[in-house]
Structure 1
């Protein structure tokens, strides 16, 4: 699977393994073992997933098993919304310690608002600014090789770019055929920010749609593979997650086929502004 070059100059795999709602050491171990076996080299977690420590512990065992070192993989984690603002630096260092790493390849602000504050609370802007300054400091210290954001809108990005010292390398957002955020994608492309999608399968609902099944039948692939390829083919990163070894393998097998231009267009026309996860558009 190909890599994308971030604005830091570092390489990031286009296809990573997501770990949202995967908890417990044994489950984490089995999932990461299967992912490494089938070629994944990028792993995404977050403080709010409550699995950083188990992930770090498992990788210590699994990397030697698969003949790999820390330098062979790309690890992403994220700042919890409760830690926005003055607590961001300490929170970032806690993630680093939990994952038992000398550095993280990427660290993101998970959400543009602070937990416990109303979305329209204007203090969110100052909180974001303080959080970003902390991330910049940790990047300068070598704790993070790249920093970025998640669930930011174009307005949030404009605000960040107007005052930051380090430009965000990645924006991670919900992105799939029912939520085609072209304005956001084009803004990121022009600003040199890599867009990475989560919930590419619409939390499992999109694989059941007849329109997607028809494209999958034409390609002789699964609906999940078609949805992931739809993003990757547009230069959008993906981080599918599963606890099934078969699905983990299947989700990575995207590089030996391509969707036709009509297929990409057909899928994109399904856009209905549907969020299956969080909608950040009303966060001040």
Structure 2
């Protein structure tokens, strides 16, 4: 068995609430721009066993990702059904423009269907967080996702950057329950209440910015644990999430780091060390805080 075959075999997945299987580790593509950069990153990722890829309308790389995957799949002996592709609705398209925004993502990626499509942000771009129309726009956007889910264009649908309150609102009105919530989650931002709510309601929590936009890699606590396990700081942070049944989508354009970031299933952090990392919590957001969006 080759190295990549071993890695694919070791990869764990989660069964979403509609029965769809999603790999627990995927490649994030935020800030990955230009066809050559996209091609090289995806080529390295496929070579090291990644089968899940996360993008979004606002990343402005959907078309390049779609083209790169179509070019690369034959080289790696793969087909579309071997992949799990996620994209997200632009906040500018909330409301009546939502279905058109979804269709633009489908057209840009040009891969037949998407495995997961998320509402990227609970508020509409260009409007203040306290704008009372946000709930109605969110509901209209979700209804558009439900229609495309029903048509088979999306295999699963979910949301990103939603709070418990946003989720409660959605669950009170939806016809299709969200399968995934993607949020910022790391030792400096341990969203325990949100994770518990998702677990209780059958929603898989997937973390972005697991490395704290890189800031956590130089934390002495993280570095000390990495040294004790003979691992990289990134591997320790990613493994910490996985042991909570939280999916991760680390982003890198460097082949060596891409390879390292998926080597997460051959070691286990002790309960004591899981607690050491959890106690780093300082309610620090390195990206965007959605709590003020009504």
Give the TM-score normalised by the residue count of structure 1. 1.00
In structure 2, the partner of 1:231 is 241
2:47 paired with 1:24:
no
Alignment of 1:95-106 (within 5 A): 95-106=105-116
In structure 2, the partner of 1:14 is 24
**2 CA distance for matches of 1:215 and 1:183?**
26
Where has structure 1 moved over 3 Å in runs of 4 or more?
none
In structure 2, the partner of 1:120 is 130
Select 2:80's aligned residue among 65, 70, 88.
Answer: 70
Alignment of 1:144-159 (within 5 A): 144-159=154-169
In structure 2, the partner of 1:257 is 267
Select 1:2's aligned residue among 4, 8, 12.
Answer: 12
Q: Secondary structure at the match of 2:74?
A: helix
**2 CA distance for matches of 1:194 and 1:250?**
24
Deviations 1:248-284 (A, max 9, x none): 0000000000100000000000000000000000000
Alignment of 1:1-284 (within 5 A): 1-284=11-294
**2 CA distance for matches of 1:214 and 1:55?**
37
Deviations 1:29-84 (A, max 9, x none): 00000000000000000000000000000000111110000000000000000000
Deviations 1:139-195 (A, max 9, x none): 001110100000000000000000000000000000000000000000000000000
Report the alpha carbon displacement of residue 217 of structure 1 after superposing the two structures with TM: 1.1
**1 CA distance for matches of 2:275 and 2:228?**
15
**1 CA distance for matches of 2:235 and 2:79?**
29
Aligned residue pairs: how many? 284
Report the alpha carbon displacement of residue 8 of structure 1 after superposing the two structures with TM: 1.1
CA-atom RMSD in angstroms: 0.4
Report the alpha carbon displacement of residue 218 of structure 1 after superposing the two structures with TM: 1.1
**2 CA distance for matches of 1:150 and 1:218?**
34
**1 CA distance for matches of 2:171 and 2:21?**
22
Report the alpha carbon displacement of residue 6 of structure 1 after superposing the two structures with TM: 0.3
**2 CA distance for matches of 1:47 and 1:29?**
18
**2 CA distance for matches of 1:163 and 1:265?**
37
Q: Secondary structure at the match of 2:261?
A: helix
